Amino acid sequence: MASIRRTLSPVYHDRHYENGGAPFSPSSTSSSPSQKSSGKHSSSSDPKASRRGPWRRPFYQFLAFFLIGFLLGMTPYGQIDDVNSTTDRFNFEIKPPNVEESLERREEVAVDGVSFSAESKNKKEEEEEDFAPRKLVIVVTPTYNRAMQAYNLNRVAQTLRLVEAPVLWIVVEGNAASFETSEILRKTGVMYRHLVCKRNMTSVKDRGVHQRNTALEHIELHKLDGVVYFADDDNIYSLELFQSLRQIRRFGTWPVAMLAPSKNKAILEGPVCNGSQVIGWHTNEKSKRLRRFHVDMSGFAFNSTILWDPKRWRRPFSHPTRQLDTVKEGFQETTFIEQVVADERDMEGVPPACSRILNWHLHLDALDVPYPQGWVVQKNLEALITVK
C-alpha cells in the first residue's frame, strides 16, 4: 500500500506562534482584540521599568559609602585613653599626638657632626635678650680751606671707617661748601652731613665756635640721639677712643696729650680719676689754672639728649646749650661744660682711672699757604734736575 507524505507549505514555516500555541490551533486563531491591545500595552511599559531599575541601587550605595568616608576623614587621629578602663570601660577620650615627646627627641640635632643640645639654644636666647643696639657716635668736625685740609680730613676719615657703625660725621664749613671738601667726603665711605655756617666770622677764634654751634643746632633740630664728640681735623685719634664713647651715659672726659704751640714741649691736660670718678684736674699751663674745668676741646663727649631734652637731665638752664664767643681764648671749653653738668659728680672718667692717652692735639698747620684748586696741578712743574 502506497504511503503519501505531505509536505508543509513554506508559508507556515515563518509564522510566529503566540502564547506557545501550535500551528492552526484555535487559541492562536481565535485571539480577541482585547488581548492584542493588552499585549501592546505590556510590551510598551517594560522598557521604562528596565531603565529605572539598574542605576538607582548603585547610586544609593555610592552615596552611603561617601558619607561614611567623609565622617571618618573628619575624625581626628589620636589614641584612646584606657588607663581607667577598669573603672570606666565605656569612657573613651581622644587625645592629640604627644608633641612634647617628639620635641624631647629632637633636643639634640647633629649638624655636620656637631650636636647642639637644648643648653646651647637657651644660651642663644639669652644673648638675643641681652643684645642692645649700639649708640650713635656723632662726630663734629669744623674745617676750612687750607693746604693741610685734605690730609687732615682723610686721616680722620680713615679712623672713622674702622669704627663700628653707627657713626655720623658732621663736617661744618664757613660761608660756603667748597668743591674740594665735598669730593673728599663723598669718597670716604663714612656716613656724613656737610653743613655750612652762615655767620660772619672775623677771627680764627670765633670761626671754630660758630661752626660747632651750627652742628649743635642741627643736632637739636633733628633730635639726634647719641654721643656728641668735637673732633678737630688737625688732631690724631685712636680707635679705642671711639669705642669708649658708647659707654658714656651723660658726660665723659679723659686726658689729652698736646704739643705746645712753640713745639718744644708736650703738655698733658685732663682729669685725674679714681676708677670712673673724677677727683681732680691736671694741667701744665699756669695761665689756664683759673678755669673751672681743665680739659681740651677734644677731651670730652656728652649725651646728645642734653641739647633737646633738658628735663630728662634736670638742667637748670632754659636757654640752648652753645659755645660762647665772648670769652677769652682757652675758656670756651670750660664755659660750655658748665652748661652741661653741675660739677664732677656728673662726669665719668674714660677709660676707668683715666690712665691712657687716647688722642693727641698737634699744631702742625701751615698758615696762609695756598693750595691748588681742586687739588689738581694745572701746569707741569719745572724740572730743576734733569735726567742725563
The residues annotated as belonging to the active site are 333
Q: How far apart are CA 123 and CA 251, in angstroms?
A: 34
Please compute, for residue 142, the number of CA atoms within 13 A of its CA located in the half-sphere on the CB side: 19
* Inter-axis angle of helices 149-161 and 179-186, nearest 10: 20
Q: Which candidate, 359, 56, 84, 49, places its Cα nearest to that of 235?
A: 359
DSSP three-state, residue 244? helix
Q: How far apart are CA 380 and CA 367, in angstroms?
A: 25
CA distances from 41 to 19, 32, 45, 46, 199 (A): 16, 15, 6, 9, 120
C-alpha cell at 184: 673728599
Q: Which candidate, 295, 319, 289, places its Cα nearest to that of 307?
A: 319
Q: Which candidate, 121, 101, 100, 98, places its Cα nearest to that of 109?
A: 121
CB 69 within 8 A of CB 75: no
Cβ neighbours around 39 below 10 Å, total? 13
Cβ neighbours around 74 below 10 Å, total? 7
**Whats the size of the chain, residue-wise?**
388
The set of residues, in sequence order, having a beta carbon less than 8 Å from that of 350 and lying 6+ positions away, is 244, 245, 247, 248, 252, 253, 254, 276, 301, 358
DSSP three-state, residue 348? strand
DSSP three-state, residue 41? helix
Cite the beta strand spans of the chain per DSSP E. 79-80, 94-95, 109-111, 114-116, 137-142, 167-174, 192-197, 227-230, 235-237, 251-253, 256-259, 266-274, 277-282, 300-303, 348-349, 359-361
CB-neighbour burial class of residue 263 (10 A; exposed 0-12, middle 13-18, buried 19+) = exposed
Pairing mode, strands 300-303 and 227-230: antiparallel
